[in-house]
Amino acid sequence: MFKGLKKKVRLSLLLLVATAFVVQGATVGTGVVQAADNVIKATDFGVKANSKNAQTKEIQNALKYFYDRGMEGTVYFPKGTYYVDESIRLYAGVSLTGDGIGQTIFKKTGSSSQYVIGNPILRNQTNRINVNISNLTIDADRENREARGASQVGGIIIDIPVSHLTLDQIEIRDTTIGALLRRTKDSQITNSRFDRNNGHAIATGHESFPTGEFSNVQIINNQITNSGGGSGINLSRATNTTVSGNQIINRTHQSDGYAGIRIPNDGANNTITNNVIENYPRGIFVLTGATGNHVYGNTIKNASLQGLLVQASGNTFTDNEFIQTNTSLKPDAVIRLDGSNQNKVIGNEMTTHSGFSITGIRLTNSSSNEIKNNITDTSGKSISIEGGSGNVNTGNRNR
């Protein structure tokens, strides 16, 4: 009996030392233990790569490991395809990583119309999610599902308030909408790829939510390719967001009126810079109510309707380059302001093919805009001001 008691005492001491070690290396905030370098392998929790059976439940069990223990950590998914029939729900503080784009794949299966990844489970009534999704592909299998009459779905949908979400070095492909993040703040989408989306690749906000529910997000250095419809980046209700260094390029033109970058529904005070947009109906489209946006240093190639269409007031467009070299395209103007006031269009430059005769900059029913120091390149009208009053037209020249 005495020997057994000594064993119990030794075991208790070991447990106390282990507990002390964990606590010593951790900090506590919002009721969650922050433990560094906590990584588990999903396949150790019954998740099977390359199984034709849906793995949604097993994936959820793996993600819950840290959440149930009040800890932060990362679930690693080794190379392979993981089929999911219902949305994977993220857990606050639990990140996902794989072996790289095209190596670790979450792929939609089954008849459910849910997105591949859906609304997260948060903690302690806080919106802070602290999740990083990296080094993997999300495949909604849209084209195959359409061919067999199954519902087509998107990649990621989050329509509850969250903050501190990072999507980095991921791919979202073959979807309706790629990433629909309606109420996201203080987050980033970086170094990622969106391919073969039949709706917006990245979409924010919604008419039913107030302006600013999507705010302070960095959308940087992403590739958006081969859209079948919608905008590359749609900044509905977005504020104080930076969209920079993105390549938004279609192989062929889509038949709708969307844009590479679109700011509708009162999007305000966003910075749009250093993006390349090619083969969209409109390069950049700023709609009624959007204000305080600064759009500069972008390159827009071969728009079919307008390189830039502005229907809003109080925005600034400077030092953008517009290239129209496709002779089959007949835009109504390279830059068009329609019913928009108090904008600044300054220092923009156009390069066109030798037979280009479309209006360079066209204003219709717009007032008090500054059109200054732009370079147009057309055998047609360089600048056409139709209606409105108080517009400044100075320092502009035609090649």
Residue 36 CA from chain centroid, whole number: 28
What pLDDT does 125 receive?
A: 84
Res 145 pLDDT > 80 = yes
Confidence of residue 32 (pLDDT cuts 50, 70, 90): very low
Distance CA 220, CA 192 (A): 9
Residue 155 CA from chain centroid, whole number: 11
Res 18 pLDDT > 80 = no
Percent helix, percent strand, percent coil in the chain, to nearest 5: 10, 45, 45
The predicted-structure confidence for 257-270, as pLDDT tens digits, reads as follows: 999 999 999 999 99
Higher pLDDT, 153 or 30: 153
List all residues 6 or more positions away from 6 whose beta carbon is below 8 Å from its beta carbon. none
Stretch 15-29: mean pLDDT: 35
The predicted-structure confidence for 96-108, as pLDDT tens digits, reads as follows: 999 999 999 999 9
Q: How far is CA 16 from CA 6, 20, 24, 31, in A?
A: 15, 6, 12, 21
**DSSP structural state of residue 385:** E
List all residues 6 or more positions away from 143 whose beta carbon is below 8 Å from its beta carbon. 174, 196
Stretch 359-379: mean pLDDT: 98
Distance CA 140, CA 215 (A): 27
The token duo for 106 is 């979450």
Res 146 pLDDT > 60 = yes
pLDDT over 90 percentage in the chain: 89
The token duo for 26 is 């951790």
The token duo for 138 is 């999300």
List all residues 6 or more positions away from 97 whose beta carbon is below 8 Å from its beta carbon. 74, 75, 76, 77, 132, 133, 134, 135, 136
pTM value? Answer: 0.91
Decide if 194 contacts 223 (C-beta within 8 A).
yes
**Mean pLDDT lowest among 23-27, 100-104, 185-189:** 23-27
Res 37 pLDDT > 80 = no
Q: How far is CA 45 from CA 68, 69, 79, 136, in A?
A: 14, 15, 16, 19
Distance CA 113, CA 85 (A): 9
Decide if 182 contacts 206 (C-beta within 8 A).
yes
Count of beta carbons in the 10 Å neighbourhood of residue 191: 16
SS3 state of residue 13: helix
Q: Tokens 């200054």 — which residue?
A: 372
SS3 state of residue 164: strand
> Which among 164, 224, 222 has a CA at the least distance from the CA of 192?
222
Count of beta carbons in the 10 Å neighbourhood of residue 246: 29
What pLDDT does 124 receive?
A: 84
The token duo for 305 is 């309707």
